[in-house]
Amino acid sequence: MARMCPMSGSVRTPSVWWLPWHTVRLAGRCVLPLLIWFSFGELVRFGLLVGGTELSHGSFPQLRYALTMLVFIVMVMFGLIVTIGMFHSLRGELTEMRLRRVENGDEDFFGGLGRAIIPYVALYLAWGWHIDDVRAFITTDIERQSGDLGYIGAWTDLVTGEPQSTATGLTGLVYSTALIIMGAAFLLRSLFLTWYDRRGNRVAALATAFCELTFFYYGAQVLVAQRKWTGDRVIVTWWNDAWAAVEANLPWWRTAAEFLGEIRPFLWDALVLPAAWLTVAILVYGAYAEDMRTAIKGTRLERRAERAEEALTRRTHALTRLGLSRFFGRWAHWVALLNTVRLTVRGGAPLFGLFALCFAAIRLGEGYLWRGLVYLLDGDHPLLFWNVLFVPMRIVTDFLATALTVCLLAATFDLAATRGRALAARDRRHGGPDDAPREPEAEVAAARR
């Protein structure tokens, strides 16, 4: 793949079409640490899921519901840490990371964790990825606790929202208790965030992220507890009637809504979702726009784009960090996504297109792999056989899909960053000021390619 230039510490940049091979290469070289991180994460996740579902049933239900949500938040937090650990295990094989290690030294795991965990939590909540964890908890609860009611009765309890004995561990907390915990989490989050902004302490970063999750999930319980109250308000009724009138009186509205509803899943899964996950990889590896600014320092490109760089680099980075860490809000995840697109475009538009294609291929291949395993083992087996066999089948498919996705994200970041360096070297060679450092011929040739 990319090779180091011994004279300057730069890199011979490969073509973007090497992305699939770079991904497979990373997966082959780092399969052991990826497997260790994934297995450890699955083991802890399973233990917390089972413990949380068991804790949510029994006497003193309100106390149990409050502790169940706490266990669930620990599970989510640990899952985010495992994801960052999987990305970190690939650092030694990334050309961009080796160059940064030569220039500025290496960053240990806890340093990267403290820097990335706060914006990662904000993206996790803003993009709706928490729904998968909630669904996993409810499914586990139903599978383990619905022996008396059956699956149909258990799901009916969930749909109707009535507080029954199954699948209510995350929704049964009363309004007053959830509100008190939510308020305490908000105050603690503000304190820890101030501590982190002033000192950059890793413990403060982890505490801020945990309080952010606590504030969100207990706040969701407040909304669930008040859903009947809000549904009967005059303003809610007026809004629903006004929206229904707009849909009925605008003839093109239904056609446009149906068209957008048909294409939205494809655009989301093919473009937006890959870019959102690439944002996570950039957060973990620390490749904000200000990192790329140093690569073009002193060149004609910097002089031409000085004002644009000031607005889009320093201010965007500050807005991304502060907006995501303090109040991630409605638009902050789009700001981070815009920053990702800008960095990827610097590596070449074909790079993002090939990345999105590979991302969709991995997701498609995961489904076909599962179907192939089912067909391979198909037969006249009892239900208990499949209940036991589905566990290793799911672990295998999830690991392969997760490992390849992480490697694809890391490889895309690596190619985008190294091609950005090559672009900077080309500008220094052909348009830099007289006092700008000249690159060796090897790096010039690499930049031209």
Confidence band of 402 (pLDDT split at 50, 70, 90): very high
Query: Which of 1-15, 24-38, 58-72, 380-394 has the highest average model confidence (pLDDT)?
Result: 24-38
What was the pLDDT predicted at 240?
72
What was the pLDDT predicted at 98?
85
In a domain, 225, yes or no: no
For every residue of 92-149, DSSP letters joined together read: GG-HHHHHHHHHH----HHHHHHHHHHHHHHHHHHTTTHHHHHHHHHHHHHHHH-TTT
Q: Is the pLDDT of residue 138 over 90?
A: no
8-state DSSP, 227: H
Domain that holds residue 403: 1-30+92-102+274-449
The average pLDDT across 326-350 equals 58
User: Which range (21-25, 38-42, 384-388) has the least confidence?
Assistant: 384-388
In a domain, 160, yes or no: no
The average pLDDT across 248-260 equals 73
Task: Mark residue 298 as left, alpha or beta (left: phi above 0; alpha: psi -120 to 50; beta: remaining).
Answer: left
Residue-wise pLDDT for 349-397, tens only, equals 788 889 989 999 999 999 999 999 988 888 777 877 777 888 889 999 9
What was the pLDDT predicted at 444?
36
Number of structural domains (the chain) is: 1
In a domain, 75, yes or no: no
Q: Is the pLDDT of residue 321 over 60?
A: no
Structure tokens at 342: 């800008």
More confident residue, 101 or 88: 88
In a domain, 305, yes or no: yes
In a domain, 46, yes or no: no
Nearest-CA neighbor of 20 among 360, 321, 283, 330? 360
What was the pLDDT predicted at 409?
93
In a domain, 79, yes or no: no
417: CB partners within 8 A, 6+ apart: 96, 287, 291, 292, 343, 347
In a domain, 172, yes or no: no
Q: Residue 342 and residue 292: Cα distance in Å, rounded?
A: 11
pTM: predicted TM-score of the whole model, two decimal places: 0.76
Confidence band of 287 (pLDDT split at 50, 70, 90): low
Nearest-CA neighbor of 325 among 200, 189, 188? 189
Residue-wise pLDDT for 175-226, tens only, equals 888 889 999 999 999 899 888 878 778 888 899 999 999 999 998 888 777 7
Tell me what the pLDDT averaged over the chain comes to: 75
For every residue of 370-384, DSSP letters joined together read: HHHHHHHT-SS--HH
